[in-house]
Structures are given as structure tokens and as C-alpha cells.
Amino acid sequence: MYSTKTLERFKNPSFAGGLRGANATGKAEDEISKDLIKIYMLIDEDGIIDNAKFKAFGGVATIVACDIACQMLVGKSLEEALSITEEEIISEFNDIPLDRKYCATLVEEAIKNAVEDYYKRLEKLEKKMAESQN
Amino acid sequence: MDKRVYLDSASTTYVSSEVMAEMLPCFNTIYGNSNSVHSYGRDAKAIVDRARDRIAHAIGAEKSNEIYFTSGGTEADNFAIKGLARAYSNKGKHIIISAIEHSAIMEACEELEKEGFVVTKIPVDSMGLVKLTDLIHEIRNDTILISIMAVNNEVGTIQNIKAIAKIAHDYSIIFHTDASQALGAIKINVQDMEIDAMTLTAHKINGPKGVGCLYLKNGIRIEPLIVGGSQERGKRGGTVDVALVAGFGKAVEIAERDMIINQQKLRSIRDYFIRSVQEKIEYVQINGHPQQKVNSIVNMSFDMVDNESLLMLLDMGGVAVSIGSACKAGSTEKSYVLQAMGLDDEHLKSSVRFSFAKNLTRSDIDYAVEVLQKAVERLRSISALTKAGRR
């Protein structure tokens, strides 16, 4: 069902777990499979993703898709992060069962939500700073 | 991979050496066609007859000719559902099954619906039991067949077959039961339990794959499913596989002979497994009936853990388990059995079936639980779910 490469990555994902000091979190949920994923990002002052991690309640493909996405995210600007597509994630798998392709959609959505979360937090922070200056 | 532990005996079992010994001569010594009139054929027929006698005896059938060999449980289920429905369609076109039947029954019924039959699926309670009042409520004037499985393959719940058969007969309805998981696990007597038709299969009781049978009480009509020969009293065409049938007969005989000791062993293995899991792992739920269940199956949900990921991690540690039924594996479809029992999405998605064989040792179980504990801890550490749910 899955390739050795996929299973190896599933067994030893490099980006699984929480991320201390994360300043952006994106959640996504699949209605049918009920998979739930969270992507955490640590974004520096220049808007570059310093680190990314994930947590997932889902199957092999979902965990591997999250791990692939986090690897792609590290070192990218937010704009570049938003341009990561489902197809890019899928192409990183040697094979992915047809009925598991939804996991790439899920990952793309979680990244968007994480970036959105970052801008929201930034906005709040700027507002706070403006208020304190007044 | 070093150690391996097979906790998937409800999917299939190994063939026992006693059964293999019974089968071997049929490949190159007694290889005649049991339908041939010459001595080679008669020798083969004697073996087939003996297997038929053994099975009939084990299930308390009145006559051996009430056993019709098939290619397995799936064919026997198809044969029963389609064959009985078509044979009695002049009486009515309504069939009642439960919501937790094997997919062979479910899909055979779907085909019949295309022929104009109407199928009612009666619900089960949270423990997997069919409520008898629900069954009575669904019976109509044109109900011709009720089919309820004896033991559920995913959770092991044992239905009140005798009571269900009694209800069916009170309304002059034919009663079929799929007893694939029941053989060797519970005492079956078709006459005492008033069963009209019953599906059996060999490979769940240390017999070979590819053979099963339908018990059909004499006097009940059935349309053949497979035509093309006069075998099995004209009800199932095709040369009988003498070796498989011989193995099946032997496996049934042994299952019946050793039932008490086997069940004692299985109960002790199952209870030790449950105890060990509950000692070592938190947030575990057992699905199914607390008492009215077979000793060989336990279905558990591990909170916050996805069952496919768990199955794969266990497999990487050499422990083989199942998610729901092997017949539905490989699909993202969730278990309709657990859904019918009203499990919520989280427990449904985190459920795993463990099923046991009598040859498992304490150290096998210790090893399996150790691998399980590590896998559950690992998946929980990276789970997006928390104890509070989907926050």
C-alpha cells in the first residue's frame, strides 16, 4: 500500500511534535476521515520560517504529508510557504493511495491557516504597541 | 524483524498439522474426481462423505446431505441470501438482516435490491446486540428471510440466535445465520437452535482457505448460485476440491473435540492481554459486549491514536492486528459495525481488533503489549487531539 520510503518517513518523522516558542499555528480537519492536523511555525523578524513542526491525528499518509510540508517550510518566506501546492507534496511521495490524496489538501490548508494566524498575531501586537505609545 | 506475534486470528488462522496430514494424500494419492463412478472417484467420494459426516455431526444436523460445500464463507453467504430469496420470491420479497452483517451478506442483499427485493437492516445496541423487539417490529407479511450472524467478526458479540430463530419461525420465515466466527467458539446445534441455513468456513478454525459450506435443512428450497454440474445434489456446480474438503472436515472435528480446552486457553490469553493493556496504557475503551462475546476477539479504542498509524507501527514491531474486518481493509471507510453500535468518530478512528489463537504464549502477549504501549505513547505524543478533544 505504501512505499518503503513513505513507511521509513512515517517511522522516523523529523518534524513531529510541538514547537517551543512557535508564533504561528494552523489547524485543518478533514470532514470524512476526521483527520486533524496542526502545523506550528517559528517565524523570525524578517518573515522567514526558522522552524516548523506538526501534530497529527491521522494515518500514515497524513503524518508523512505533514513531515514533508514542515521540511519544505523551513527557510522559506511566508509568501513562498503559501505557494506550496498539494501537487508538490504528493510528488514527494513515491506513491500515494488515491483515497489518501486528501492529506495534501489538508496540509495546504493548515499552512494557509498558520500564515493567517501569524498575521493576526502581528496585527494584534502592532495594535498593542500603538496603544501603548499613545 | 525479530519476534513476530500474530493477533489476527479472526482474519485467518494457520492450518494445523493434523489437518494438513488429512489433506496431503488427496493431492497425489486419492486424487480422483468425487463425481466419477470408477474406484478412483469412489475413493475420493468416501473422503468427501466422511468430511460431510464430520461437519453434520459437529453442528447437530439431522442428515449429512444437508451440508453443501462451497469455496468459503463468502460464497456460502451469497448462496444462502440469493438462493433462498430467489427460491421463495413467490411468497414475498422482503428480507431482514442486521446492520452489522459481514460484507458478503450486505452486498448480496444490495444485488437483490436491484432485482426488486426490499431489505431492512435492523440496528444493534451499543454492545452489538440485535434487539428482539426491533426484529419483531420489522417483520412484514411478505418477509421471507431473516439473516443474523451468530458472532460478529469485529467485536465478537454473540447474538441470541435461538431466540431469533424462534421469532422467525413464529412468523413462518426462513432463518439463516453466518456462523463463520462461531464455529469452535460456541456450541452450535442447528436442530436445537432451529437454524434453517448456516454459513461455515474452514480457515477460521485452523482449516485451509478456499472451502466452506452452507448447512441447509432438508425440505427448504434454494436456487443454485453456481451452475454447471450436478455436484452437491445439483445445488452447487463444480468439481469438489477433495483435499480442501477433507481438511475442512478434520478442522471441524478438531474444533468440536477440543472446544472446551481451547476456549479455556483463549479466555486466559484474552483476559491476560486485557489486564496487561489496562495496567500499562491509559485511556483505553473496550468495544462490544462485556460478557456475551467470544473469547478470541477483543476490540479496543485508544484515545487520541489513529488506528491506521497504530496498525503500521505495530506491524513494524512485528505485531499483526486488524482494523475492523480484513475483508474491508485497505479502504478509508470506517467500520460500519462500530458505527452501528453508536461509537463516536474519535473512538471509531482509534479502534483496533485483536484476535487470539490458542498457541499464543504469555511472552508473546507481553511482547505485543510492550510494542503496543510504545506505539500508543509515540502516536499520542504527536497527536493533534488532546484529552479534551479537537481543540
Give tens-digit pLDDT for B87-138: 999 999 999 999 999 999 999 999 999 999 999 999 999 999 999 999 999 9
Q: What is the DSSP letter of B335?
A: P
Cα-Cα end-to-end distance for chain B: 38
Q: Which of A1, A10, A19, A36 to mutate to test the interface with B (most CBs of B within 10 A)?
A: A36
CB spacing of B382 vs A58 below 8 angstroms: no
B117-131, B306-320, B322-336: least confidently modelled range: B322-336
User: Which CATH code is given to the segment(s) A4-127?
Assistant: 3.90.1010.10
Asked if B123 contacts B154 with a C-beta cutoff of 8 angstroms, the reply is: no
Question: Can you give the CATH number for the domain in which B265 is found?
Answer: 3.90.1150.10
Number of A–B residue contacts, CB under 8 Å: 60
pLDDT of residue B326: 52
- Judge whether B83 lies within some domain: yes
Domain boundary among B219, B240, B257: B257
Cell numbers linked to B86? 430467489
Structurally, chain B folds into a number of domains equal to 2
Q: Please, is B77 exposed, middle or buried when counting C-beta atoms within 10 Å of its C-beta (0-12, 13-18, 19+)?
A: buried
Q: Please, is B296 exposed, middle or buried when counting C-beta atoms within 10 Å of its C-beta (0-12, 13-18, 19+)?
A: buried
pTM for this one?
A: 0.94
CB spacing of B309 vs A29 below 8 angstroms: no
pLDDT of residue A96: 85
- Domain residue ranges of chain A, discontinuous segments joined by +: 4-127
Does one domain contain both B57 and B168? yes
Does one domain contain both B111 and B22? yes
Q: Which residue range forms the structural domain that includes residue B162?
A: 17-257
What's the distance, CA A72 to chain centroid? 9
Q: How far apart are CA B11 and CA B327, in angstroms?
A: 8
Of B149, B146, B128, B145, which is closest to residue B73 (Cα–Cα)? B149
Chain segment B152-175, per-residue pLDDT in tens: 999 999 999 999 999 999 999 999
Q: Which of B1, B301, B309 to mutate to test the interface with A (most CBs of A within 10 A)?
A: B309
Nearest Cβ partner of A16 from B304, B345, B382?
A: B382
- Judge whether B386 lies within some domain: no
Does one domain contain both B271 and B236? no
Q: Amino acid identity, residue B217?
A: K
pLDDT of residue B325: 52
Cα distances (angstroms) measured from residue B47 to each of B42, B79, B191, B272, B280: 9, 24, 25, 40, 50
Does one domain contain both B166 and B103? yes
Does one domain contain both B266 and B340? yes
Respond yes or no: is residue B109 known to be catalytic. Answer: no
Q: What is the DSSP letter of B333?
A: P
Q: How far apart are CA B232 and CA B242, in angstroms?
A: 13
CB spacing of B346 vs A99 below 8 angstroms: no
Q: What percentage of chain B exceeds 70 in pLDDT? A: 97
Domain boundary among B226, B257, B288: B257
- Taking 80 as the threshold, does the pLDDT of residue B182 lie above it? yes
Task: Look up the ipTM and state it.
Answer: 0.94
Domain boundary among B257, B284, B302: B257
Question: Can you give the CATH number for the domain in which B55 is found?
Answer: 3.40.640.10
What's the distance, CA B380 to chain centroid? 32
Residue B287's SS3 state is strand
Mean pLDDT of B249-273: 98
CB spacing of B308 vs A60 below 8 angstroms: yes
Nearest Cβ partner of A57 from B316, B332, B383?
A: B383
- Judge whether B390 lies within some domain: no
The series of mean pLDDT values per 10 residues for chain A, 134 residues long, is 92 96 96 95 96 97 96 97 94 85 95 96 91 82
Q: Please, is B179 exposed, middle or buried when counting C-beta atoms within 10 Å of its C-beta (0-12, 13-18, 19+)?
A: buried
- Judge whether B389 lies within some domain: no
Q: Please, is B389 exposed, middle or buried when counting C-beta atoms within 10 Å of its C-beta (0-12, 13-18, 19+)?
A: exposed
- Taking 60 as the threshold, does the pLDDT of residue B331 lie above it? no
